[in-house]
Structure 1
Amino acid sequence: MTSSRLSGWRLAAFSGPAIPISALGLPIGVYLPQFYAGPMGLGLAAVGTVFMLARLWDVVTDPMMGIISDRFPSRWGRRRHWIVLSVPLLLVCAYMVFVPTAPVTSFYLIGWMFFLYIGWTMLTISHMAWAAELSDNYNERSRIQGYREAFQLLGVPLVLLIPAIIERIGAENMEAARVAAIGWFIVLVLPVAVGVNILFVPERKSTPQPPLDIKAAVRAILRNLPLRRLLAADFLSGFAGAALASMYIYEATYVWGIGSVASFLLLIYFFGGIIFIPVVLKLSYRLGKHRTVVAAGLFNVLFPPVIFLIPEGNYYVAALVLLFLGVNVGTTTTLYRSMMADVADIDELETGQRRTGLFYALLTLTQKLGGAVAVGVVFWTLALIGFVPEQGQNTPSTLTGLSLVFVATPVICNALVAAIMWKFPIGLVEQEELRRKLDERFVEEVEQTERPPNLP
């Protein structure tokens, strides 16, 4: 088991697929619901239901993909072949979802979204599990996930430049034009990024996995307290992020009065996330991962109410607020994924199996479930308060209600995250002890394998 430091260029090559992953993820939350509810004519309630059901489909596909990727390696390794197989599926589904021909039905949307999420699951789980298996070192794991998250955040402004340019030139049928352009970006970038990843980054050799019956496998997961805490925090972070994404265009357009530059200003939010990732990593080296998550959570409790102070039509104040809101955008995803590798060490020590794929499937599942529930809850709430996604059709009290929901969601969710992660039981000392025990067992297994059969 090696814990050597990986070179920057190799980590960059490894992290490339995170760009199309984010290019898929953000539009699904920010642009697609509004596009299908408005220009495609499906309505808020129908679209909210479809997106919630599509994400709930991940309850089946995520754990299944995690188990399959752990149990069925190839001569390429444990993860790379699954990443390659996801590409053709994602290319077809991205085209059908982002470049639809009107009119469409709810069945069209939910059908293609189901298959899109299958391909996305294959890609994201395999990529995250592979990242966790690149190193056993506590802080190096954070560095690897920091690279991956930086590339994922970089993919966001790259894909957002497309609708920002379209908004500035005022293209005909703007909603359809910007969604279609995002789809073509995914179709072009995905095969290139995966190709570079596969060519330049080898997988570590995996050790043989001992048999494990279903009861023991499930029992080990259920009594893993750090896993439960991490999944609960991830669900809340996913809920908050998806809720804000689904409301951002509405808030920026109808409350802040900056709809014409909404996509451009969103770039600042994600650039803030990229800029502060090195700061977050250094802080985690000093405080530990879970304490850094707590600090980020408390920041997101105290800062969002500043949104109420944004003057209508003031681009500069809105940009400044979004920049500092971006401080936390990469924190939880980077550190949760690094912490999950540490949590998986506990399971490996107990079961003898390296079930990294399954554990990252659970992590993506909770985030997706949080996002699915958020979109449904937010759209139902907006419908309940009488919000209408049309200019000039909302009363001042309705817009105030929109802002209250927009601010209260991250405040409540992050307060709960800070409380859950306050006493997380794995830090640097505990993880190094776990790795010491695992390394000792590995040496014993090797010695037993190499020992002549006639010796005791």
Structure 2
Amino acid sequence: MTTATQQGRQPLSRWTLFAFALPAAPISAMGLPLAVHLPPFYAGSLGLGLTVVGTIFMFARFWDVFTDPVLGIVSDKYETRFGRRRHWIVISVPIMLVSVYMIFMPPVAVTGFYLVAWLFVLYVGWTLLTISHMSWGAELTPDYHERSRVQGAREIALILGMVFVLTLPILIEMTGPEDVAAARVASMGWFVIILLPIAVFLAVRFVPERKTPPPSHVPMKEAVAALVQSKPLQNVLAADLISGISGGLVASMFLFLAEDALQLGKYSSLMLLGYFISGVSFIPVMLWISRKLGKHRTAAYSALFNAASVPLILLVPVGNAPAALAVWILCGVNMAAGPFLFRSIMADVADHDTVRTGQQRTGLFYSMLTMTNKIGVAVAIFGGYTMLDMIGFTPRGENTPEVLNALRAVYVWPACAISIAVAGILWFYPIDEKKQRENREVLEKRGIEAAATAIAARTGHPSDAQSSGVPAD
């Protein structure tokens, strides 16, 4: 058992991490515009209106309440000779390519039904891709800290995808197209369409899947009870849900804040660039801190840092791009910590569930993680845009100082309060490094016993492991 444990905890090579993480770049290059650029584009440039677009994005996200668990269970259950995850990633690519084209390069005149229909298709492909990719990452290694390294590499790829896609609007604006909004959204769509198949090919070609034992059968009633009664799962999902609301609010209203309230004009995209570059630069620091304090405590402190830094936006003078950039760089210091630590923590939660039930349900658990975040973002877009309508805000229109001050307040204070709540939830998360290693020892012992039983069944003789008296659970 010791030898197997040591082999399972060998650090992954940098090339393996790079090839595995690469598909995250086009995932984020699509996800960022969906939160930041597409809602204002469809609400303003295409004339659908704030409340209509907010409602559509909310209901499209709630579609994932049904699709995420189903696709998570499917990805756990159906294995091929290529493994448990990689074939689902390949299947998602054509769905993504078609729907990205239709949403990012829409006809001149669109209806709400057009947006709803193609968002539904896009989210099916996106869910299949992201759940399979995150579950694959959780299964690449059983080690507590190495899982953070895997998810940290994925987060770096996510942020770099955002950075690259954010440079496109800057370049597009320099060319002076007739319709700037449509041109910059289309450029982001083409970036995803070109990069996604290349990234997926490299990942599935060069990164093998680590063999995981087939799950034992557990009655449905017991399986559901294990989910409902799991305090670690409840902690992570609750924190992720409200984090999604906070992130969705600040993302969906960013352009309104930067262009209308702060009047940063062409420097708006530069603010996001500074934010994301700061985030990717500090991921190694967050990894180091998590090794010292543990993953859940690091995520809690990160949330408190966010609660302290976001209100600084209220101090930025109108039109002062350097001051705004400094604040967004500070806010970006820990922007990546929560997302990649949540995903690393969820791998430990899946292990804990496997110890209790004998089920390998990593895909289901990650589908629940993506579902809660999507619901949070959906609620944020609907609620945020509805509040903007209520205060009388007009995108790129004439707004009174009172309305713009209300916009700043809606942007800052909910995010601040939610961050404090996230820290409180995570502080009492029960699986630390010691508990995770105990869970892995149980699972590895079960794996040895299962292998010994299989050998004995084939040969008719007890295996060395059985005769040596490996204790049962």
TM-score, length-scaled by structure 2: 0.95
User: Is residue 193 from structure 1 mapped to residue 192 from structure 2 by the alignment?
Assistant: no
1:162 equivalent in structure 2: 168
1:296 equivalent in structure 2: 302
The residue identity in structure 2 corresponding to 1:131 is G
**Which of 192, 212, 217 lines up with 1:211 in the alignment?**
217
The residue identity in structure 2 corresponding to 1:157 is V
Q: Is the 8 A contact 1:37 1:43 kept in 2?
A: yes
Superposition map of 1:184-263 within 5 A: 184-263=190-269
Superposition map of 1:270-309 within 5 A: 270-309=276-315
Hey, what's the Cα distance between the residues in 2 that align with 1:122 and 1:230? 21
Q: Is the 8 A contact 1:298 1:418 kept in 2?
A: yes
Superposition map of 1:289-438 within 5 A: 289-391=295-397, 393-438=398-443
The residue identity in structure 1 corresponding to 2:145 is N
**CA positional deviation for 1:453:** 4.2
Alignment length (residue pairs): 455
Superposition map of 1:120-135 within 5 A: 120-135=126-141
**CA positional deviation for 1:454:** 6.8
Q: Is the 8 A contact 1:249 1:259 kept in 2?
A: no
**What do residues 208-264 of structure 1 show as CA deviations (whole Å, max 9, x unaligned)?**
221222212111111110000100000111111111011100000112110212112
The residue identity in structure 1 corresponding to 2:414 is T
Q: Is the 8 A contact 2:9 2:142 kept in 1?
A: yes
User: Is residue 107 from structure 1 mapped to residue 137 from structure 2 by the alignment?
Assistant: no
> SS at the partner of 2:82?
coil
Hey, what's the Cα distance between the residues in 1 that align with 2:73 and 2:138? 16
- Structure 1: give runs of 5+ residues left out of the alignment: none
The residue identity in structure 2 corresponding to 1:141 is R
Hey, what's the Cα distance between the residues in 2 that align with 1:208 and 1:421? 31
Q: Is the 8 A contact 2:350 2:360 kept in 1?
A: yes
Q: Is the 8 A contact 1:239 1:373 kept in 2?
A: yes
Hey, what's the Cα distance between the residues in 1 that align with 2:251 and 2:103? 18
Hey, what's the Cα distance between the residues in 2 that align with 1:446 and 1:33? 53
Q: Is the 8 A contact 1:69 1:78 kept in 2?
A: yes
Please provide the CA RMSD for this pair.
1.2
Q: Is the 8 A contact 2:391 2:403 kept in 1?
A: yes
- Structure 2: give runs of 5+ residues left out of the alignment: 467-473
Hey, what's the Cα distance between the residues in 2 that align with 1:231 and 1:353? 19
**CA positional deviation for 1:339:** 0.2
Percent identity, please: 49
Q: Is the 8 A contact 2:214 2:360 kept in 1?
A: no
Cα separation, partners in 2 of 1:159 and 1:454, compared to 1, 3 Å: closer
Cα separation, partners in 2 of 1:328 and 1:169, compared to 1, 3 Å: same
Between 352-361 and 259-268, report the one with greater CA deviation.
259-268
Hey, what's the Cα distance between the residues in 2 that align with 1:171 and 1:325? 32
2:183 equivalent in structure 1: 177
**CA positional deviation for 1:169:** 3.5
2:470 equivalent in structure 1: none
**What do residues 89-111 of structure 1 show as CA deviations (whole Å, max 9, x unaligned)?**
10000000000012110000000
Between 206-215 and 415-424, report the one with greater CA deviation.
206-215
Q: Is the 8 A contact 1:302 1:411 kept in 2?
A: yes
Q: Is the 8 A contact 1:20 1:190 kept in 2?
A: yes
**CA positional deviation for 1:171:** 2.1
